[in-house]
Chain A
Amino acid sequence: MGSAVIEVTPGWAIAAAAMLGGLVYLAAVFNGMLASRTVGRSPVATLLRPVYETARLLRQRRRSTVAADALLWRIGGAGMLVAALLKLTVIPFGHWTLFDFDAGLVWFNAMDVLVWAMIWLVGWGGNSAHALVGGYRFLALAVAYELPLMFALIAPAIAAESLNVGTIIAAQSGLWFVVWMPFAFLIFSVGVLGFSVWGPFASALGPDIAGGAGAELSGVDRLVFFAGRYGVLAAGAAFAVPLFFGGGSGPMLPAWMWFLAKTVLVLTALIWVGRKLPLFRPDQFMEVGWVLLIPAGILQDLVVALVVTNQ
């Protein structure tokens, strides 16, 4: 089983960044449409909303707070977008990848751990109680979703007998992994929602603490942070495709189109599900993560390992 992908020159990173930008725009529009529908407004009006929002935040001045740790604050704010871009480097776009890396799966995992640092730094840097509480909440949730996520990531790697993303795609030529390791996919989705602070895991940015970790962000800082949050969500959705949905495989259309179509489908599903669920409070979800999700992930890995060894 060889790798199914070709490494392209680093110059294509610009194309990857543009694709991420497109996905972020799409995600923001789709989320805006769902939001407009609940207040009974036409969803069509939201098509340009991200443009307006960007203009608004570009026009808005950056604001500081008393004794803010501006350096750490800015690093945290910009870091989400950087983490999203770094994740994208190991995700094959159809047949092409920027970085055909031995341990691509672990690379992705390491990049989503960066989000831990970023959210906490954003919460800390503003020197505001609500924001800091948001940072604490995220770390508590992170401890609960990250370990199950790791077990979920291992399942496709066991089945493909490799940590290389291209090889994992190649191993799915017969059957997509989502079919016979559904729990791994579910836990992976929980993890993606978790590290993008989305939907049920948004309590770090919750309404009860006036926007939480992001409460003190304004202007460009806010724009970059929230774009980065969509970016991490989009990168997570894009990574589900090579891991569970056979990468770019599909009839008729070229591989890159299949990859994009599947990514958009997973992304919209995540956004939709995220809006339907209430917030998970850390004190509740920690127990779920440790008592239910970790054993579920281990059992899933065990089943996958048994299937692979008995083939």
Chain B
Amino acid sequence: MTLELVLLIAAALFSVGLYGAISQQVVVMVMMGLELMLNGVILAAGAFWWFLSPEPTGQVLLLVIIAAMTVEMAMGFAVATLVHRVRGSDMTDNATELKG
């Protein structure tokens, strides 16, 4: 097992997530794409820690990523609810019209 191979898995996860994040119309599905991208980042961070610098700093970074994910998710749910309440729709395409 080498660092490169683990990072390739992480890159694959990131790319699949990216595909989802830009191709999906529904807010919740876009969030799932973002989550998948962060999933790849978690794996990469874990691998860096293990292969390169086994000191607590790397783990703290991982913890921060996880925290960022929860914040993203909670705000995403709240905004999805708000958009749904205001517009009766949850499509990102419709949400762009809101800014006008």
Indicate yes or no for A touching B, C-beta below 8 A.
no
Chain A residues with CB under 8 Å of chain B are none
Chain B residues with CB under 8 Å of chain A are none
